[in-house]
Structure 1
């Protein structure tokens, strides 16, 4: 009789044990997925980009360049001065990062380093301009007034733009607009 009374308890504890294991496994998968999505780094495409993100149907980028909204981006893993970074981009028929709208900021949102940009202060115009002399959209960066106009600009995590000595070495992003 005693063996008969313990059998339902063994069955219940076995079922509860299996449920606990399944819950722990599901939690592990969920945590792994959430950390993977948070730490996503842009990856280099092995060949021409066939990325079909919004507005990028016109992209055909060369190897190691990323296509996004009719532009190709090269995200460096090496550090250079602003001038050397700019020269690298120019030699690849592109320019340092030129952010035109908020969507482009979201594209760059997953970066975890600071990168040189093509934004500089023009003494002649008394304004912040991009390398192509186009003006900066006023709604992109809020803290430009605190930047030192004698320095170059870097863009980094959490949509932040800062100034840095142009002779310092940072990673860089080249942008080639296809349209």
Structure 2
């Protein structure tokens, strides 16, 4: 009689175990797809452009570019070296991100990864310069004095810059100014 009573419980526990495994697999697939896609999915209009986001005025961006305050940003999912990232942005008629102010990237606050930006050290000028040759404003980021000048610069949304070997691969953000 005891063997008869344990059989339904074994069946129930087996069903629950299989259900748990299926749910865990589904969760894994959902999380993988979530992190594999870009953090932002622009809303395409019928004309193939991206609708401007809040604060962007009447500016719009094409394709996978994100419009924000009359600038277009492309967040790369591919990991590349700093030079490869710079070349990729140039091929898109843009440049690696150059920050103008602290809240410029407020729409990326939930991004947790580091990404390459267009900042490098100029031995000639003895300063950190953006790709266009303008100097880094000290109020934009935490101190850059402790960063090895041989490194390239990565940025995190906590407004911190980090020096990394230029051969390391990482994501990047390209920027186009529309006005």
Change beyond 3 A, Cα 1:45–1:165: farther
Residue 129 (structure 1) aligns with: 129
State the partner residue of 1:96.
96
Aligned-residue offset at 1:78: 1.1
Partner of 1:24: none
Q: Secondary structure at the match of 1:77?
A: coil
Q: Which residue of 1 aligns with 2:115?
A: 115
CA contact (8 A) 2:43 2:51 kept: no
- Among 27, 34, 42, the alignment partner of 2:40 is 42
Partner of 2:178: 178
RMSD, aligned CA? 1.7
1:52 Cα deviation (Å)?
3.8
- Which secondary structure does the structure 1 equivalent of 2:104 belong to? helix
Give the Cα–Cα distance (whole angstroms) in 2 for the partners of residues 114 and 44 of structure 1: 21
Point out the structure with max Rg over C-alpha.
1
Residue equivalent to 1:164:
164
CA distance in 2, matches of 1:45, 1:138: 35
TM-score when normalising by structure 1 = 0.72
Larger helix percent: 1
Q: What SS class does the counterpart of residue 61 from structure 2 fall into?
A: coil
Change (3 A) 1:149 1:45: farther
Q: 1:83 to 1:45 in 2, by over 3 A?
A: farther
Does the 8 Å CA contact 2:115/2:172 hold for their aligned counterparts?
yes
Q: What SS does the aligned partner of 2:77 have?
A: coil
Change (3 A) 1:112 1:71: same
